[in-house]
Structure 1
Amino acid sequence: MSGRLSTAGRAAVAVLLVAGVTPGAATAARTGSTTAAKASAACVVSVGSVTATGAVAGKRITPGAVTADKEDVGVFPAGAVRVSGSLSVDPDVTGYDASITGYTVLGSTMYGTSYLITLDGVVDPTRPTHYRVGGGWGDTTFFETTRYWDYPDPPNLTTQYQLRTDGTLTRWEMYYNNGNNPRLWANKQSATGFGAVKTMAMISQTATYDTFLANTRGGALYTIRLPRTSPLKPVVKKVRGSTWQAFDALVAEKCGQYGTMLVGIDKDTQSAYAYAVGHANGTATVIQGLGKVPASFADPVYFRWQIRPGDAQMLFGE
């Protein structure tokens, strides 16, 4: 099951959720490389990918180890997907093992994607659904959906972010209103000046801002905080000045109470490296290298797997 939790894994996470504990939360990330390395031991990053044949795959990465999951075959046409936001897994679907939803760019068109996994662990061939959001997405270099919901408390916020080749970062808000007159892709806001950014990963979701960690083609590493206020006014801080240019994809997950486990993927060498990142604070941010990930990364598109909104732990890396 690509990037999804196995039956045993879902049960283990369910126990943690009921107990009010999220994976990795027992160890808070503090300053100092030794502490950061210890905190990472309880952390896992679920890296999803779309293969050249259109299957959806996944790897669960912990420091020094990888578990690869069975591919979900038949989700997309071969070679069609250019960019994917995170995919969300709902393991509680009557008559099925799981439901998968998210947004993907095929060619120059954005689609909302959903598919079902049967109890036999394969894609239901009658149910892969790709509904057209709209055209004009051919210059998209990065896309992500952020879902903030500290279940069961309000607010429940869903926000879409796009980065284009001209360096424009755009945000939309999704107002579902429990199905009553929903307003989707609303309140469009944009900010320019991000032409040097190569890729990004979400590291914080809060009620008042989202934060991404971004690398540039020149090798720098920055945090980009995006307050939920209007107009959109990003707050950019340099974290490192060099050596980060190789990564074509970044995938992050919460590590401890305040930190992040980060995986950087280099498509040229088909390799990836893991890092424990302390709570982001500009150039004072602690980053501990965890070494090369022992696996090959040959797929054209990468994204972050996450559990359904309400159950997913909220990132708080900045």
Structure 2
Amino acid sequence: MIIARESNINSNLVAGAIIAGAYFGDRASPMSSSANLVATITQTKLYVNLKNMMITGWLPFLAASFVYLVLSISNPIAVTDNILLTEIPKVFNLDLFVLLPAFIILLLSLLQIEVKVTLFFSIITSLIIGIVLQKYSLVQLLNYAVYGFNLDISSPLTSILKGGGIIDMLKVSIVVIISTALAGMIAGTRVLEFVEVFLEKSKSRSRLFLGTIVIGTAAAAFGCTQTIAILLTQQLVQESYHQKLDNYQLALDLENTVVVISPLIPWNIAGLVPATVLMTDWKFIPYTFYLYFLPIFSLIHFQKNYSKKVFGF
């Protein structure tokens, strides 16, 4: 994103590619919180689900990669002034020790240490590095944590390396608070009950999957968080899947619908948080091709198989 802002390329395109790539990696990781949640609520094995996701995800991945390749060729990054390589070493100490916080997160995640503990050690390490290597005071670091980072010296990097902080995340926190109230209202009032009726009458795999897309989209819009959207969708569709399919198909359809649809909702935390981190807004959504290729390609696949079964072609 720093390089994109330094050039004349559409930064929303880059943000969309980054977020889509992050979700591709999330679907392949045993550390994924959404994958673990889906495996838990559907009572399925995580690694079987990961394998199924790779099987259904390779074609959308190739299609999205091709689109990004075309866009990359037609929108080359033209950096007018290569200040990153020359200016960053002047401002920061680039000793290998600065990689320690990231290494700690990776190591403790592989050891399946609780997330809060992992983040605690990573933050403490970052504070030590900031004080010892980068020569910032504790007061400065705490100020950056609350109000976001900005360079205190005159540098060409001043307009590039800025942002973040707790204050910038307040709108995300407000959305989380509101979404917890909405989730209870949705479940209690049964406003999506009509879709359950649609699913119960579904005779084809494609229609069942389409119903899951509809419920997943509504749950992601009203629930405002990926977690709540997954839980709501699972509650509403599980009975229909138990009657017609098995838990592994339910888990796969949740992964191919509500999990990747959530970040496509502008106010959903799944997309709002990475957009905030990348200092962009909802305009990245049209460029997250992989995220909407997944449900579209899956629906086409199910519809094609249904047509072969019914019409013989």
- TM-score scaled by length of structure 2: 0.25
More strand by share: 1
More RCO (CA 8 Å, sep 6+): 2
More helix by share: 2
Q: Looking at CA atoms only, which structure, 1 or 2, has the larger radius of gyration?
A: 2
